[in-house]
Structure 1
Amino acid sequence: MRKLVFISLVSLLSCNRNAQPAHPPVGGVLSQKDLDVSKERMKNLNTIERGHIQQWANSQPVKYYPTQLNYWVTVEGYDQRERRADNTMISYSYDLYDFDETKIYDQSFERRDAKFGHFDELKAVENALRFIRNGEEVTLLVPSSLAYGTFGDEKKIDNDIPLIIKLKAL
């Protein structure tokens, strides 16, 4: 009888020791309610950021113009220009700044011979490159939803941070 109680007790303790708390899977499925809450949060955040960006832009000596994709640029009629087609090549560089105009990374991001439709870039950067002329430099004011969004870049850019991007076609 003692053996049976001892074996049962050891089995019970070993099961308890190996038990792990239940966690939802990484990238788990969200309910429709969770998706709606997230969508509403992003909508409200975008409205607030757009107001702050517009206020900041109005206080600058350079004029900024809104684009159809929800960011601002320093060239009037920018997104009315001829659009570069997919599979065309472009070389470019850009620097990232916060709205205190502090450069985030010391080194510029630079890409040589990138092909449209085949490179992964910030939405605002890729869209702006479609309309930029060779040798032209523009400044973009980008809300967080078009930058690094809810997660940041997991390095120096935190979540929900709007950016100033100085972009140049090489």
Structure 2
Amino acid sequence: MKKLLFISAITLLSCNRKAPVAHPPVGGVLSQKDLDVSKERMRNLNTLERGQIQNWISGQPVKYYPTQLNYWVSVEGFDQRERRADNTPISYSYDLYDFDETKIYDKPFERRDARFGHFDELKAVENALRFMHDGEEVTLLVPSSLAYGTFGDEKNIDNDIPLIIKLKAL
């Protein structure tokens, strides 16, 4: 009987624990100073990467043209073309390379019948697809801010890595 009473008392005490305390997410809320520091870092990084990309371009036999969205493309007057509207379907594929021209993934990324305005893609890829003709292939030179940014893709692409994207509208 004493054992049963002892076990009951321990069970009762263990059930009477306080609820766990909730903690804010890692990093919490950023102050205005933190946001300003982050903006300045991205501005400096973008300036540095643009310079590096322009140096890389100067050593290439192919000419690249800047776009309004801050990436380069291998077609002159590219973002002056007619733009595809939201909800129009498009199929496409692309390969990713670093600026040593090393392919990052063995298989290309591919999507069939994606609709503009309804798919989550790299900003430069979605923007370029809006100006591409069916069957066209273009090469994009993309600063990290329009690629995988400060976090990378958490697989093969580190943070703050500019990319070469070989894009095909299928």
TM, length-normalised to structure 2: 0.86
**Take 1:23 and 1:96, find their aligned partners in 2: how far apart are those partners?**
38
TM-score (norm. length: structure 1): 0.86
Using the alignment, how far apart are the partners of 2:77 and 2:94 within structure 1? 21
Question: Secondary structure of 2:39's match?
Answer: helix
1:67: Cα distance to partner?
0.2
CA distance in 1, matches of 2:54, 2:157: 21
Distance 1:113 1:32 in 2: 41
Partner of 1:166: 166
Structure 1 alignment gaps of length 5 or more: 1-21
What is the match of residue 96 of structure 1?
Answer: 96
Q: Distance in 2 between matches of 1:64 and 1:33?
A: 37
After superposition, give the CA deviation of every residue in 1:136-167 in whole Å (9 maximum; x if it has no partner): 00000000000000000000000000000000
Question: Do structure 1's residue 49 and structure 2's residue 49 form an aligned pair?
Answer: yes
Find the residue that maps to 1:90 and give its secondary structure: strand
CA distance in 2, matches of 1:139, 1:27: 37
Moved runs in structure 1, 4+ residues, more than 4 A?
A: none
- Describe the shift of the 1:82–1:37 C-alpha distance in structure 2 as closer, same or farther (beyond 3 A): same
Can you give the 5+ residue segments of structure 2 that lack an aligned partner in the other structure? 1-21
Q: How many residues align?
A: 150
SS at match of 1:95: strand
Deviation of 1:26 after TM superposition, in Å, equals 3.1
- Supply the AA of the counterpart residue of 1:164: I
Partner of 1:10: none
**The residue matched to 2:113 in structure 1 has which SS?**
strand
Partner of 1:39: 39
Task: Find the counterpart in structure 2 of residue 134 from structure 1.
Answer: 134
- The separation in 2 between residues aligned to 1:165 and 1:132, in whole angstroms, is 14
- Work out the CA distance in 2 between the residues paired with 1:149 and 1:53: 16
**Structure 1 CA distance for aligned equivalents of residues 148 and 85 of structure 2:** 25
